[in-house]
């Protein structure tokens, strides 16, 4: 092969960004079209360095904005290449228009979003505002809770997205700084094993196949637009979840690391549970264990796949729980948190007698401490004992000033 292989130790101490950059290298991405933004910059910077050091056979396109970055990815993917990029926050906001183009054109692009707050006020730290901004853009959305998962989920995302029955772009979310700039042990795959898992890119309807000319970027008005969107949604609801499960299974066989659309921790006999995303899932796992020592049967549900949303799996996981909290790391802008609404939707027509409360936390990188979570589980136990939400349905965790509670 024209490029060099890299010797990795079985466990490398990598932050989430470096883990994602190595995954892009090992997948031998053909084209990265990117514009840098904190805290995601080291991912594309890492790919560029691997390329200039001859560890990747690919192209790096430097562009003038994130809108152009994703446009470059769309062009390269339509031409028939394995394509990826990374962004955060305002960069993702500027990309938003083109994300819908990518999913509508069924181009299997991989986007690493290093989650960061949206201005104003300007803030470079981690929250889920950007993740929520594009949640309905037709992309598959995975969520990593640690650098290890940022690494693993990249391979999984390529394999799912590029499947010819899926052909849908995918996002891998990781928490800005809390994952992206936190170095932890990451179990690696060697270059051959990693590449063989995703395999050679197999194009479909590629523009550079001149024997089979195709049209990309078509216009459909009221005659066909709805059918296109409905078909796409149908695939998200029926084909994609099955493919994700199959790839999770295959990855587990290879590495021993088993992922699930929702991750359940201490949920078998839980009376109270927290549902959240990102690094908070792991901190909550630790606190749940400590609560059990105090006699509170606490559990955690982490959302691994945010889109397609695991609606039925959530209902099933929570069916015997008495009180649950939905934690949203994004300003709700005048309604309940998105996760609160999703979970409420999944539970509403079920037989569950569960009581649900919502919490907004961690905006702009505000710390979610173990003490916050101890208080939260204690409050949930009181709700469980009373059989109703004793507080208002929406509260804020860790914000200074007078206590905020609504609904």
Partner 1 sequence: MLEIRWHSRAGQGAVTGAKGLADVISTTGKHVQAFAFYGSAKRGAAMTAYNRVDDAVIMNHEKYMEPDYVFVIDPALVYTSDVTINDKQNTVYIITTHMSTEELIASQPKLEGKRVYTLDCIKIAQETIGRAIPNTPMLGAFMKVSGMYDMEFFKESMKRILAKLPQKIIDANMLAIQRAYDEVK
**Chain positions contacting partner 1, by CB under 8 A:** 9, 11, 13, 15, 124-125, 175, 177-178, 181-185, 279-280, 282-283, 285-286, 367-371
**204 upstream amide cis, omega within 30 of 0:** no
SS3 at position 343: helix
In whole angstroms, what is the distance from residue 87 CA to residue 63 CA?
Answer: 13
Instruction: Name the token pair of 278.
Output: 């990102």
Q: How far is the CB of 13 from partner 1 (least distance, A)?
A: 4
Cα–Cα nearest to 71, from 112, 33, 31, 29: 33
**Shorter beta-carbon distance to partner 1: residue 184 or 350:** 184
**Shorter beta-carbon distance to partner 1: residue 176 or 241:** 176
In whole angstroms, what is the distance from residue 41 CA to residue 384 CA?
Answer: 44
Q: How far is the CB of 49 from partner 1 (least distance, A)?
A: 12
Instruction: Name the token pair of 26.
Output: 């090992």
Is 164 in contact with 108 (CB distance < 8 Å)?
A: no
Q: How far is the CB of 10 from partner 1 (least distance, A)?
A: 10
Cα–Cα nearest to 287, from 375, 180, 381: 375
**Shorter beta-carbon distance to partner 1: residue 250 or 367:** 367
Tokens 């309807």, located at residue = 205
SS3 at position 174: strand
Q: How far is the CB of 126 from partner 1 (least distance, A)?
A: 10
**Shorter beta-carbon distance to partner 1: residue 104 or 185:** 185
DSSP class of residue 244 equals H
**Shorter beta-carbon distance to partner 1: residue 39 or 241:** 39
**Shorter beta-carbon distance to partner 1: residue 111 or 300:** 300
Q: How far is the CB of 88 from partner 1 (least distance, A)?
A: 13
**Shorter beta-carbon distance to partner 1: residue 47 or 361:** 361
Q: How far is the CB of 294 from partner 1 (least distance, A)?
A: 17
Q: How far is the CB of 351 from partner 1 (least distance, A)?
A: 33
Is 373 in contact with 283 (CB distance < 8 Å)?
A: yes
Is 176 in contact with 219 (CB distance < 8 Å)?
A: no
Instruction: Name the token pair of 89.
Output: 């926050």
**Shorter beta-carbon distance to partner 1: residue 300 or 389:** 300
In whole angstroms, what is the distance from residue 407 CA to residue 398 CA?
Answer: 19
Q: How far is the CB of 369 from partner 1 (least distance, A)?
A: 5
In whole angstroms, what is the distance from residue 236 CA to residue 242 CA?
Answer: 10
Residues 6+ apart with CB under 8 A from 64: 35
């Amino acid at each position: 092969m024209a490029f060099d292989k890299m010797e990795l130790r079985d466990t490398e101490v990598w932050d989430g960004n470096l883990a994602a950059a190595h995954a892009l290298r090992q997948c031998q991405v053909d084209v990265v079209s990117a514009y840098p933004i904190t805290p995601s910059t080291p991912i594309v910077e890492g790919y560029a360095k691997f390329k200039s050091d001859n560890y990747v056979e690919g192209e790096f396109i430097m562009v003038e904005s994130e809108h152009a970055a994703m446009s470059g990815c769309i062009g390269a993917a339509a031409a028939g290449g394995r394509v990826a990029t990374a962004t955060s926050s305002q960069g993702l906001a500027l990309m938003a228009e083109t994300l819908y183009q990518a999913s509508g054109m069924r181009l299997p692009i991989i986007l690493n979003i290093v989650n960061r707050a949206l201005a104003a006020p300007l803030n470079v730290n981690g929250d889920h505002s950007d993740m929520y901004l594009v949640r309905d853009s037709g992309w598959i959305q995975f969520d990593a809770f640690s650098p290890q998962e940022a690494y693993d989920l990249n391979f999984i995302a390529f394999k799912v997205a590029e499947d010819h029955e899926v052909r849908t772009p995918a996002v891998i979310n990781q928490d800005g700084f809390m994952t992206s700039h936190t170095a932890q042990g990451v179990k690696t795959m060697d270059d051959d094993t990693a590449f063989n898992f995703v395999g050679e890119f197999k194009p479909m309807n590629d523009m550079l196949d001149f024997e089979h000319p195709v049209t990309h970027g078509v216009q459909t008005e009221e005659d066909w637009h709805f059918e296109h969107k409905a078909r796409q949604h149908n695939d998200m609801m029926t084909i994609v979840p099955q493919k994700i499960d199959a790839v999770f299974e295959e990855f587990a066989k290879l590495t021993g690391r088993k992922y699930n659309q929702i991750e359940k921790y201490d949920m078998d006999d839980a009376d109270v549970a927290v549902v959240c995303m990102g690094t908070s899932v792991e901190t909550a796992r630790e606190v749940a264990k400590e609560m059990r020592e105090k006699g509170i049967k606490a559990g955690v549900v982490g959302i691994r796949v945010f889109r397609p949303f695991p609606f039925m799996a959530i209902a099933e996981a929570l069916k015997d729980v008495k009180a649950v909290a939905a934690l949203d790391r994004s300003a709700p802008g005048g309604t309940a948190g998105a996760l609160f609404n999703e979970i409420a939707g999944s539970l509403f027509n079920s037989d569950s007698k569960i009581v649900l409360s919502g919490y907004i936390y961690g905006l702009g990188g505000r710390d979610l401490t173990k003490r916050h979570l101890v208080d939260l589980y204690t409050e949930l136990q009181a709700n469980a004992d009373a059989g109703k939400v004793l507080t208002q349905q929406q509260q804020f965790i860790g914000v200074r000033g007078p206590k905020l509670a609504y609904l």
